[in-house]
Amino acid sequence: MLGSGFISDFYANAILSKRHPESIAVVQSRTLEKAQAFAKKFGISVATDSIQEAVSNENIDVVIIGLPNHQHEEAVQAAAEAGKAVLCTKPLGRNAEEALRMLKIVEEAGVFHGYLEDLVYTPKALKTVETIKAGAMGRILWTRSRETHPGPHSDWFWNKELAGGGAIVDLACHCIELGRNYIGKDEKPLEVFCWADTQVKPIDAEDHAIGLIKYGSGAISQFEVSWAFRGGLDLRDEVMGTEGTVWINHFLRTGFEMFTAPGSSGYVAEKAESDSGWIFPVGDELQELGYNHMFVDMFNAIDNGTAPLETFYDGYIVNAVMDAAYRSAESGRWEPVKLDVWRGKQPGEGKAGKQIDYDEHHILIKEELLPNGVKKVILKEKATGRILQKTI
């Protein structure tokens, strides 16, 4: 485990809390004191402040990177040179150029690589993707993903150079990859329009952003992110298809609500701002946020010699989309997504809508039942293109 901060704590709990054969043999942190404290908490035998010492340990097979963004490339390089499988937290890089270098490093070294994007592994997201693939939603036209909270936990997040940006690079990476999974990861992201601003926090990076992503299928994906939302961690998705709609609330308002006058006297949920009054506990954060399913997928893929759901390639695509978002926020225009590597469909494949014949001469646009029990149909005349309606 490279890193001993907030995300590494989640990772360690997910790995060790279930009946998995895996164990954590080594932990590395930026300071030896932090590494030793983490090792004591989770019963890890080796603690170090050296990335090289950690990845070269003969007792490990997999390197998990939970380090600050600016250290990802160094850690990936070290793990690949040691011949170890490597799993990296989000975002893969601070920008697409950095992410592409990491993708090339692991592919040229021939080592297993997994992108630790936990939110695509939430039970609700996995069920939604399964339903979409079964055809229940039809062709996906639009997605919306929102992640907002009062701000990240560690100092380096707030440093634009170390992190690579602000709320976009921290949160929109989740939203973008959720949208890709719903729309289809083989659909090419074409261009992005984004507004971003520093509205509240005294920092150089953006603390709010809203963006739109156009895909080759014609679908639009929307993201909304904030580091200044009050009330906790708000995670919501919406998916609209030609044949169905999905609304998802992953956190915050999920049906588990509690009132306590004196306070709960402890941790409620990630980024909860209060432990008294009406609070919104989470039954099992590791499950609800996707960590359990994510590591099961990663470790199964390693055992079976297959690719996991999320790889460094996916992390690279996400970084390229975020780069376009930053360019758009500066230019005020739609900006193209620049991809040096693309392994999916070409734009336009499968874009045509489904045409339903009403009869020999008409195409059905809409059918509805009126309050008086009469059925109305809106039709398009095939020969002339004229729109008309009739009641039945």
Residues 216 and 179 in one domain: yes
pLDDT (0 to 100) of residue 251: 87
Domain count, the chain: 3
Is position 366 within any domain? yes
Q: Is 242 a member of any domain? A: yes
CATH number at residue 44: 3.40.50.720
* pLDDT given at position 174: 98
| Cα 157 → chain centroid | 17
Question: Does 295 fall in a domain?
Answer: no
Query: Residue 146: which CATH number?
Result: 3.30.360.10
**Nearest to 183, CA basis, from 311, 366, 354, 347:** 347
Specify if 356 maps to a domain: no
In this structure, what are the phi and psi dihedrals at residue 241, rounded to the nearest 5 degrees? -120, 175
Q: What is the per-residue pLDDT for 266?
A: 73
Are 244 and 321 in a shared domain? Answer: yes
In this prediction, residue 21 carries a pLDDT of 79
Mark whether 73 and 150 lie in a shared domain: no
For residue 339 the two structure tokens come to 């991809």
Q: Distance of CA 159 to CAs 203, 206, 316, Å? A: 8, 11, 22
Do the domain assignments include residue 227?
yes
Measured from the Cβ of residue 215, the count of other Cβ atoms closer than 10 Å reads 23
Question: In this predicted structure, what is the pLDDT of residue 282?
Answer: 81
Contact 62, 86 (CB under 8 A): yes
Q: Are residues 165 and 37 in the same domain?
A: no
Position 353 scores a pLDDT of 61
Strands 277-279 and 140-148: unpaired
| Alpha-carbon dihedral 331, 334, 340, 344, rounded to 10 degrees | 160
The boundaries of the domain holding residue 157 are 119-289+309-336
Query: Does 86 share its domain with 153?
Result: no
Residues 205 and 75 in one domain: no
Domain match, 253 and 132 both:
yes
CA atoms within 13 A on the CB side of 205: 22
Residues 133 and 34 in one domain: no
What pLDDT is attached to residue 275? Answer: 81
Specify whether 11 is located in the same domain as 131.
Answer: no
Q: What pTM did the predictor assign? A: 0.91
* CA-wise closest residue to 335 among 211, 224, 219: 211
Same domain (yes/no): 227, 136: yes
> What is the CA angle 52-53-58, rounded to 5?
110
Residues 72 and 142 in one domain: no
Query: Low-confidence residues of the chain, pLDDT below 70?
Result: 19-20, 264-265, 350-354
Same domain, 157 and 83: no
**For residue 108, is it within any domain?**
no
**Of the candidates 320, 336, 352, which is a domain's last residue?**
336
- Tell whether 98 is covered by a domain: no
Q: Tell me, yes or no, whether 344 lies in a domain.
A: no
Q: Are strands 85-89 and 62-65 parallel, antiparallel or unpaired?
A: parallel
